[in-house]
Structure 1
Amino acid sequence: MLLLGTAALALVPAAARAQGVLDAGGMTFRDFAVADRGSSFNKIDPMIGSGAVPTQARILSIDNDGGFARIRFDAIRIEVAMPLGWQANEDWERGVGFSSDKRFRLIVWRVDFAYEGVNDAEHYAATKTGAIKARKPGIQAQARKLSDGSFLIVYQNVPAAPGDAETRVVFDLVVPRPGKPKEGALMTLGVAARDSDHGLKLMALLKSKLKVDW
């Protein structure tokens, strides 16, 4: 099992360290939401980049009391819950969600581990952390296995992108397909460094409602 280093481990709640789970610590989607009854999801703001033409992701339902919308990325057959006040786009290979101020940014993908040159989710997590640290030595990257077989990777000291005011922390959740270890899904959440604790709790909420049509 891969273990988080001391610095990265400090980001993880005690319950997660002890039990291999992610814990929202009593927070809910309402703590991250804007009470706009889902109107933000009718907007298109091209965050995908790289020449892709984004389209609006499909809204399955709005839970005003819960503070989230259920979003379907049809191209990758994955459903996620996002806080109200966010936006959600997709292209042919990934889904993207982000808060109105873009401090919180989410990307969801499918992963073919064989295509990536690795054996399974654990090998992917180990290889990716090693590659990131080799390419950008200033980034701290560590991974740990969760009790359900998924892997959480934490990247600290990630350089700010254009428009960001500070360095960032990025969380990867690598989810293997049950019974088919060569396939998986990847959910990446990037947050401003000052939001690292809230970002981890939001990842716990996102994970709890993630649905993959394998």
Structure 2
Amino acid sequence: MEPSPERRVKRHGVPAQRTDRRLDAHSLRGLAHPLRLRILDILRLQGSSNSTRLAKQVGESTGTVSWHLRQLAQHGFIEEDPGLRSKRERWWRAQARTGVFDTEDLGEESAGREAVVDLLQEVVHWSFDRVARHLRSDLPGEWRNAGNISEWTELRLTAKQMTALTEELIQTVERYLPTSSDAPASDSLPVVVQLQVFPAPPEAEAR
């Protein structure tokens, strides 16, 4: 089901080789596993790799990692890297696509919603575990102080206003996305931006 124009997240300034991919419940099942999330994170942040190298990084057997790589490929999150293909081992790279999950896909049926929410929670847990690992890291102060973890609880918005806010935030981040012609600065590091925008649940409201 194609999202309505009001629900579509507009993409501006995105590199030509980067495309949007709408995530549905089926594709989330291929992603919602802690080891697959970790493997995908490594491929996105560190570039192409193979099962042997990844197995050493995640502390699992090569066979286990190979199986999870095939699952990620089957669901379209990674692909073989033709530039590093060898007779001995397959090399994999992350797909240069952004993932967009439309909450309309949750549907109205309670059982269907529960299944999809369980899958999304696995992804969210992984995202916040990544933040926790950053807080425990030994990066120099310059990098530690450059980031930000904030929360605003004073907002009261309509659904239309919240959609507009989300689009503006995404457009701001995407202005910093590299293009194929950009060479990374010598003092740059991979940076992760996590964004959550949602109505406060009923129990969080003042009584």
Q: Same fold (TM over 0.5)?
A: no
* Bigger Rg over Cα: 2
Report which of the two has the higher share of helix.
2
Which one has more relative contact order, counting CA pairs under 8 Å at least 6 apart? 2
TM tier relative to shorter chain: under 0.3
Report which of the two has the higher share of strand.
1
